[in-house]
């Protein structure tokens, strides 16, 4: 069961919607005011007759602001049953702060309250409704509130935890005599631990069950069922989940393996018998709390407007002329020069020096403006790559094809001979044709609206913006990392995103050292070292581009759907080294599934895919977890292994079906591998780099190989004869698809273009 921590009394604090990743709940000051309601009702049932105290009057005002419905009715009933006005007011304030969707959800839960699994109403339904209202006042909403409602719905009245509700007089607490034996004591402790209205005390449950002798377990279970009318094992399933449930069931039935939440089991020889249990939500909270964060405001800095640039054209298209990075670089340089000029003005100590510095600043700002105009021209030229405009254009093409198809169909249609039928037929054709033309017109109008709006944004493009920057030093698992937000690159799409890495234990020298220790060939080391020079070191993380979260010395990403190459790495690590995975990620609630990254919040909320990726992207602690993991030598070797097998071997071993001609000129098909043709250091390096940077290295190379064999009509069986010439064509295709700055970097590394120069 998800535990609501805090004092027994509720606090009028609103938590953020579980659908929105946040690092902490808003303060009470941010709670939205209650929605006004025209509905009015008498408060006679809720308060005693006579003069009303200020607290009662305030409560009446808060309740009158709530709309008519199950929520208001439940709160009025609780008030009339003895709920203190101050507590009712706190609940009303919290309910009023919920969004309309959350209020509707709460109404639905209240309507279902008191209904058992057999849909029969119970006498303590009011107490159950009060429980839900108090949970809202305590901060529960969304998935957390639903989970609480599910866990109490349909339980026998004697097993309800309402007797432990300090706010509810309708709970009907029953006093029992003090237990006189160890069995009685254990059963009573279990009941108290699981009946607590603020959530199950998992630690108390474990303490009781794991502290008993095997011979006592059966007696305690029997005694617990007498106290609560619910079998102990059923209660555990109601109150606990995941690793907590598994632990409790194992303690209750030590000889019987639990069928729930089986631990991850490694498949490699080294970890064949390793079993690692997932962290419980209480452990997750404890581990996150142990992460230390020190933030420093570094002021507002002037930056080139990269975010608007990437919002207008988010795609990284290497074939754009010039590419985005080259188009933006002069503006970034101009803004940097302008900032230096401003610093010189501030540093000038004499009037002449200040005046000269101001002239330079004026010139620098004019340069920024001129470079901004060049960026605007680039945006206008390439605005067709805006996703919204591309979709609008596609819609036009679809409607135009539909119209053309309809016109062709109508031309071939036979017109009935009967004049009346012919007229009806022509009218139906005209109606259909008019509708199709209208769709074309609407699609064209929408496309124009989208384009005009985008061009207006381009015209309004501000080349320089002020960006607040914060430096954060975060310590995770004993490793300190440093990151900053507000970082500017040609691909930055959020000023709130961060980049950074470990302050020690990770560097370019460390990459070289770990590659030498890896045991892979020198040529493979050279390729990965060169790529790392472009991407970063082992602990490097950035969250400012379309990859959402990029990590490691080849910058694996979570991608647009939260299930990118980084998810593949995590999946492989969890399978091959579950202990390392748990140490680095699992203990903090970061997991991996078929749908991609999975994040379990301390309150039990589970985010998957995009939602999880965005939470990691926007949370300093979660980003720091990845940085710290990259500073672990064991994780560094795991990165090298995965990059070598996935990016180098995986790309080189890619099968390619080709069709050429035999000696007699007859078509001849065969299946080759890219490594049969791409045999040089340079070819392997840029093919691997394109696989890392854009995920398309193998695809581009395969297409070029297929085209070469088909166009040249060579015999696939004689690849050694034509392979060197084919590699030149493949390299040309790879270079065309790659970013020029990356090609220049690899050229400096001195890779050989000689066929056969790459050695495994």
Query: How does pLDDT run across 595-619, given as a tens digit for each residue?
Result: 899 999 998 899 999 999 999 998 9
For 453, other C-beta atoms within 10 Å of its C-beta total 13
Q: Are strands 556-557 and 590-593 parallel, antiparallel or unpaired?
A: unpaired
- Architecture category of domain 182-262 in CATH: Orthogonal Bundle (1.10)
- Going by pLDDT thresholds of 50, 70 and 90, the confidence category of residue 502 is very high
What is residue 18's predicted lDDT score, i.e. its pLDDT? Answer: 32
User: Mean pLDDT lowest for which of 130-134, 494-498, 625-629?
Assistant: 130-134
Nearest Cα neighbor of 296 from 575, 485, 461, 450 is: 485
What is residue 214's predicted lDDT score, i.e. its pLDDT? Answer: 75
- Going by pLDDT thresholds of 50, 70 and 90, the confidence category of residue 735 is very high
Q: Are strands 464-476 and 292-304 parallel, antiparallel or unpaired?
A: antiparallel
Averaged over 337-348, what is the pLDDT?
Answer: 96
Q: Which residue has the higher pLDDT, 448 or 36?
A: 448
What is residue 176's predicted lDDT score, i.e. its pLDDT? Answer: 37
Give residue-wise pLDDT tens across range 451-482.
Answer: 999 999 999 999 999 999 999 999 999 999 99
What is residue 13's predicted lDDT score, i.e. its pLDDT? Answer: 35
What is residue 43's predicted lDDT score, i.e. its pLDDT? Answer: 37
What is residue 264's predicted lDDT score, i.e. its pLDDT? Answer: 35
Judged against a pLDDT cut of 70, whether residue 24 lies above it is answered with no
Judged against a pLDDT cut of 80, whether residue 563 lies above it is answered with yes
Can you tell me the distance from the alpha carbon of 356 to that of 341, in angstroms, rounded to the nearest whole number? 10
DSSP 121: B
Can you tell me the distance from the alpha carbon of 559 to that of 557, in angstroms, rounded to the nearest whole number? 5
- Going by pLDDT thresholds of 50, 70 and 90, the confidence category of residue 402 is very high
Q: Given the structure tokens 């298209």, which residue do they identify?
A: 317
Averaged over 496-512, what is the pLDDT?
Answer: 95
What is residue 426's predicted lDDT score, i.e. its pLDDT? Answer: 93
Nearest Cα neighbor of 671 from 656, 690, 686 is: 656
User: Percent of the chain, pLDDT > 70?
Assistant: 79
Q: Which residue has the higher pLDDT, 642 or 226?
A: 642
Q: Which residue has the higher pLDDT, 711 or 91?
A: 711
What is residue 232's predicted lDDT score, i.e. its pLDDT? Answer: 87
Q: Are strands 550-551 and 292-304 parallel, antiparallel or unpaired?
A: unpaired
Judged against a pLDDT cut of 80, whether residue 242 lies above it is answered with no
Averaged over 53-79, what is the pLDDT?
Answer: 71
Token couple for 52: 């009303």
What is residue 80's predicted lDDT score, i.e. its pLDDT? Answer: 72
What is residue 6's predicted lDDT score, i.e. its pLDDT? Answer: 37
Nearest Cα neighbor of 40 from 58, 75, 67, 70 is: 67
Helix H or strand E encompassing 719 = helix 719-737
Q: Give me the chain's average pLDDT, please.
A: 82
What is residue 555's predicted lDDT score, i.e. its pLDDT? Answer: 95
Can you tell me the distance from the alpha carbon of 722 to that of 727, in angstroms, rounded to the nearest whole number? 9
What is residue 494's predicted lDDT score, i.e. its pLDDT? Answer: 94
Token couple for 461: 């493009």
Can you tell me the distance from the alpha carbon of 194 to that of 197, in angstroms, rounded to the nearest whole number? 8
Averaged over 99-116, what is the pLDDT?
Answer: 74
What is residue 58's predicted lDDT score, i.e. its pLDDT? Answer: 62
User: Cβ(746)–Cβ(690) under 8 Å?
Assistant: no
Averaged over 251-277, what is the pLDDT?
Answer: 43
DSSP 648: I
Can you tell me the distance from the alpha carbon of 556 to that of 11, in angstroms, rounded to the nearest whole number? 43
Sequence-ordered list of residues with C-beta below 8 angstroms from that of 444, at least 6 positions apart, any chain: 396
Give residue-wise pLDDT tens across range 353-365.
Answer: 999 999 999 999 9
């Amino acid at each position: 069961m998800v535990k609501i921590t805090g004092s027994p009394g509720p606090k009028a604090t609103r938590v953020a919607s579980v659908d929105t990743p946040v690092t902490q709940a808003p303060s009470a000051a941010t709670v939205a005011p209650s929605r006004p309601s025209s509905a009015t009702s008498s408060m006679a049932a809720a308060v005693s007759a006579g003069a009303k105290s200020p607290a009662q009057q305030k409560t009446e005002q808060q309740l009158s602001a709530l709309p008519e419905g199950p929520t208001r009715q439940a709160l009025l009933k609780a008030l009339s049953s003895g709920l203190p006005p101050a507590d009712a007011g706190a609940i009303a304030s919290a309910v009023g702060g919920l969004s309309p969707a959350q209020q509707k959800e709460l109404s639905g839960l209240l309507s279902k309250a008191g209904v058992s699994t057999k849909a029969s109403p119970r006498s303590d339904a009011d107490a159950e409704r009060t429980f839900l209202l108090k949970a809202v006042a305590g901060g529960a909403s969304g998935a957390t509130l639903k989970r609480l409602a599910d866990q109490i719905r349909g339980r026998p009245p004697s097993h309800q935890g309402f007797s432990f509700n300090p706010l509810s007089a309708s709970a009907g607490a029953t006093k029992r005599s003090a237990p006189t034996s160890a069995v009685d004591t254990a059963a009573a402790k279990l009941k108290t631990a699981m009946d607590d209205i603020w959530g199950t005390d998992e630690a108390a449950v474990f303490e009781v069950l794991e502290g008993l002798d095997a011979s006592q377990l059966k007696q305690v279970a029997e005694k617990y069922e007498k106290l609560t009318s619910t079998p102990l094992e059923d209660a555990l399933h109601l109150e606990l989940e995941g690793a907590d449930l598994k632990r409790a069931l194992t303690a209750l039935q030590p000889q019987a393996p639990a069928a729930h939440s089986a631990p991850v089991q490694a498949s490699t020889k080294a970890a064949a018998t390793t079993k690692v249990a997932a962290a419980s939500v209480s452990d997750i909270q404890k581990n996150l709390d142990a992460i230390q964060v020190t933030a420093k405001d570094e002021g507002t800095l002037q930056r080139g407007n990269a975010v608007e640039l990437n919002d207008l054209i988010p795609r990284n298209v290497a074939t754009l002329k010039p590419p985005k990075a080259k188009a933006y670089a002069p503006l970034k340089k101009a803004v940097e020069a302008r900032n230096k000029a401003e610093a010189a003005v501030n540093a000038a100590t004499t009037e002449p020096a200040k005046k000269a510095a101001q002239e330079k600043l004026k010139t620098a700002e004019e340069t920024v403006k001129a470079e901004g105009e060049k960026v605007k021209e680039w945006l206008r030229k390439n605005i067709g790559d805006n996703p919204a405009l591309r979709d609008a254009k596609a819609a036009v093409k679809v409607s135009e094809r539909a119209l053309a198809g309809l016109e062709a169909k109508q031309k071939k249609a036979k017109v009935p001979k009967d004049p009346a039928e012919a007229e009806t037929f022509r009218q139906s054709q005209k109606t259909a044709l008019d509708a199709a033309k209208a769709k074309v017109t609407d699609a064209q109008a929408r496309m124009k609206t989208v384009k005009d709006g985008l061009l207006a944004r381009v015209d309004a493009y501000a080349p320089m913006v002020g960006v607040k920057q914060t430096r954060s030093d975060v310590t995770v698992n004993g490793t300190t990392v440093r990151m900053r937000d507000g970082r500017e690159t040609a691909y930055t799409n959020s000023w709130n995103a961060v980049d950074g890495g470990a302050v020690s234990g990770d560097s370019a020298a460390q990459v070289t050292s770990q590659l030498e220790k890896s045991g892979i060939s020198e040529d493979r080391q050279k390729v990965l070292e060169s790529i790392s020079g472009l991407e970063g070191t082992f602990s490097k993380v950035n969250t400012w581009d379309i990859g959402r979260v990029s990590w490691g010395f080849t910058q694996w990403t979570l991608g647009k759907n939260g299930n990118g190459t980084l998810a593949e790495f995590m999946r492989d690590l969890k399978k091959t080294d579950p202990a390392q995975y748990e140490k680095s990620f699992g203990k903090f609630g970061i997991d991996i599934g078929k749908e991609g990254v999975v994040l379990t919040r301390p309150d039990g909320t589970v985010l998957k895919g995009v939602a999880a990726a965005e939470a990691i992207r926007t949370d300093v602690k979660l980003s720091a977890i990845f940085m710290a993991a990259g500073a672990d030598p064991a994780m560094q070797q795991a990165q090298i292994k995965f990059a070598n097998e996935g990016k180098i071997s995986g790309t080189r071993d890619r099968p390619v079906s080709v069709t050429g001609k035999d000696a007699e000129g007859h078509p001849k098909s065969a299946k080759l591998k890219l490594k049969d043709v791409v045999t040089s250091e340079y070819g392997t390096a840029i093919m691997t780099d394109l696989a890392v940077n854009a995920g398309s290295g193998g695809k581009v190379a395969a297409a070029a190989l297929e085209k070469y064999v088909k166009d040249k009509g060579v015999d696939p069986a004689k690849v050694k004869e034509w392979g060197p010439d084919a590699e030149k064509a493949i390299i040309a295709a790879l270079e065309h698809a790659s970013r020029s700055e990356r090609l220049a970097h690899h050229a400096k590394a001195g890779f050989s273009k000689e066929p056969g120069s790459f050695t495994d």
